[in-house]
Chain A
Amino acid sequence: MTDSHEPPTPGSESPVFRLGLREAPVPHGSPAVSVPIPRAGAAREVAESDTPATPARDQAPDGPAPLAVIPSDSTQPAAARWPSRLTVAALVAIAALVVVVPLRASSTFLTDVTQLAAFCLVFAGLWLLTHRMGLLSVGHGALTGVGAYAALHAVNDFGLPPMLMPLAGFAAGCAVGALLGIPALRLPKAYLALLTLSAAVAFPIVLRQLDGPLPVTLDSEFIAPTWTGIAPNDEHIWEFWIVVAWVAVAFWLLHGLLTGPIGRALVATRDEPTAAATFGVSVYRLRLAGVSLSSGLAGLAGGLMLIPVNFNDQFQYPEELSIKLFALTIAFGSTAIGGSRLIMTVPAATVLVLLPVWLVDRPGWVNQGGWIGFLKSEFFLYAALLLVAAYARSRRARAVRLYDA
């Protein structure tokens, strides 16, 4: 490794610098070495990165073997990157919609959209876990419920200001995620799926034991300040803005985290855990932190969910919700709709929240039995989506493996 404190020039940086990881300790007197990072899985990173897929071997066709394939935007210091005009335009449009839509929409629709915004955070956690870390969770619905439970009781029993209750949900989600991750991450990936599915099935039972069979209401209301000009009967507008503000901040922090060294290290633990360990990354601890963060985001969303819904009970977070969340994460992370980008959270949450709303207006569709009813049922749609997405993902992974070979 170089001892120079000057930033390396492009093309001469060490693989450690390029990965953005902590340098592995080098024994005193060891010669400076550059360890080529194996190519396996690297093309997948390119395929799933936020940048156009250009394999590194194409970038340096005549040079030595590339040390690592890093998305081009990831190699630049964060401060030097400016959002594109398209991104700025999209952000301005979203901000305008956030301000204008609540003033026009019905309270029912706005409540749905508020939940949709909160579910975006759950999907962000699942996206981080599944697409960035290559791990599996079938229990994020239960983790959302854990967050809702913790947030509700933090306000009702411990007097936490209601504006801060999502933080209690975040903390609870992190803690439960770590509890599940500590044993599961030392074993093959299937164990995390196993434990989270068990947690998803057990959660409604636990909640019924803790809170009883009836819903528990939040002992607080969200009254809009007078300067907002929101009428007392339109508090759902204020609730929407609170939730959107929390979600925006969480996404901003998450995006910053994932585009930095930690984000690249997480990807390294997915594609090349051995190489990552060689470069000084504690794979187990980083995965544990990732699982905990992912669960924390679900918990945060659970806390936010209380803002429009205002109560919590055992029927809100069944295991089917966890499976739906997983299905949509796989589906929208594998197709062209969102690729493996964080933006996939929006269409996924839209389907999750608005599909049942759409189906409620079609009782003939929902209640029909037999083969036709089977083909029209919500769960059939989810199952078909999951199977098709899983097949597409396996085909793509195989293509990448063949390409790497």
Chain B
Amino acid sequence: MTLFLQRVFDSFANGSAYAALAVAISMVFRSTGVLNLAQGQMAMLSAYIAVVFAAGADPGVAFSGWLTPFATPWPIWAAVAGAVVVSAAVGALLEYTVIRPMRGDPVPTIGATLGLYLLIGTFVVKHFSGRQRFLGSPFPQEHTDRFIIGGARLWFDTIGLTLTMLAAIGLLALIQRTTKVGLAFRAITSNRDSSALVGIRVEWVVMGGWAVAAALGGLAGGLIAGELNVRPDMMERLLIFGLAAATLGGLRSPALALAGGYLFAFAETMMAGYVGFIDSQVTLVWALGVLIVVLSVRPSGLLSRKAARQGLRT
């Protein structure tokens, strides 16, 4: 029982990252119909930006020279926050310069997101030499920083990461439900043309959606960097799990995407722990298998059949 509980706790950190990416993917897909395959790379870039902020003016780290007025290394929480802000700006910029000109045409738009995937990956490899970097966690990480529950250890770091991600996603949901900006976002996800007719500035809202999604992904990248080392391929697996989790909600339900993120992380940890022939790498294949099964049984995810009906029309 202790081992089982430990594995449940272990799945929280990964689950938070998967959930954040899944929610970000769902947000972008809902508002623009674009499947952003570069979401993982944008999160990885955010982790590197956090490394730059945390390094101060370290000549061994690219771009840190730009921070000469702030030569003191930033605390990790500030570095992550700074990276989130920069990520939001980058997300808005990419929407304006790359995605918007595609005008929602699916082939060019997915092509553009793949172009961004390559571009960001190459940018990081060329500027940071592709080497692993250590960022650390903004939460306490000493070996005594833990709770013991039923004999299993629940680290403060894991609690902090999970609560931060849940708070960010909850705040996002609250903004969507209670503010005018959120109302505008919900309106354009429901009917883009009608929203424009009633005076909503659709392009600004879509750009805002990209910025928020990039910020959420950036937060996931910055926080999960405390668990993983920062490296160019750190988000590859996370992106696949994030996509799989988003699919559970038909790419349109952030709530189911959130649940899917934790569900996939739980299943991954359990399979790697209890099934002898499955190591942590192969769990990715099982995620793909689950994805195929879910889409076969419930083509529109666990939410509705609307997307299935749209399928043949698109």
* B251 x A391 contact (CB < 8 A): no
* B312 x A330 contact (CB < 8 A): no
With known contacts A273-B313, A274-B313, A323-B117, A205–B281 Cβ distance under 8 A = yes
**Chain B interfacial residues counted at CB < 8 A:** 57
Residue of A nearest to B285 (CB): A202
* Contact digits for B292-314, partner A, Cβ 8 Å, 1 yes 0 no: 10011001100000011011111
With known contacts A187-B307, A205-B284, A273-B312, A370–B109 Cβ distance under 8 A = no
Residues in A whose Cβ lies below 8 Å from that of B288: 195, 198-199, 202
In the complex, A377 Cα to B103 Cα: how many Å? 29
Q: A189 at the A/B interface (Cβ < 8 Å)? A: yes
Q: A397 at the A/B interface (Cβ < 8 Å)? A: yes
Residue among A209, A391, A394 with the highest chain B CB neighbour number at 10 A: A394
Tell me if A's interface is mostly helix, strand, loop or mixed.
helix
| Complex interface: stretch among A94-102, A178-186, A257-265 | A178-186
Range, interface on chain A: 35 or more
Q: Which of B101, B119, B237, B310 contacts A383 (CB 8 A)?
A: B119
Residues in A whose Cβ lies below 8 Å from that of B35: 190, 193-194
Q: A138 at the A/B interface (Cβ < 8 Å)? A: yes
Q: Which of B106, B282, B291 contacts A195 (CB 8 A)?
A: B291
Residues in A whose Cβ lies below 8 Å from that of B103: 394, 397-398
Q: Which of B29, B119, B296 contacts A183 (CB 8 A)?
A: B296
Q: A109 at the A/B interface (Cβ < 8 Å)? A: no
Residues in B whose Cβ lies below 8 Å from that of A397: 103, 105, 108
Instruction: Name B's A-contacting residues (CB within 8 A).
Output: 29, 33-35, 37, 62, 98, 101-103, 105-112, 114-119, 121-123, 125-127, 129, 236-237, 240, 243-244, 247, 251, 281-282, 284-285, 287-288, 291-292, 295-296, 299-300, 307-308, 310-314
22 A–B pairs (Cβ distance < 8 Å), ordered by A? A183-B295, A187-B299, A187-B311, A191-B247, A194-B37, A195-B291, A198-B291, A199-B288, A206-B282, A319-B236, A330-B108, A370-B126, A379-B122, A383-B118, A386-B118, A390-B111, A391-B101, A391-B102, A394-B105, A397-B103, A397-B105, A397-B108
Known interface pairs A188-B106, A386-B115; 8 further A-B residue pairs with C-beta atoms within 8 A, sorted by A's residue number: A188-B310, A190-B34, A205-B282, A377-B125, A377-B126, A380-B118, A395-B101, A397-B108
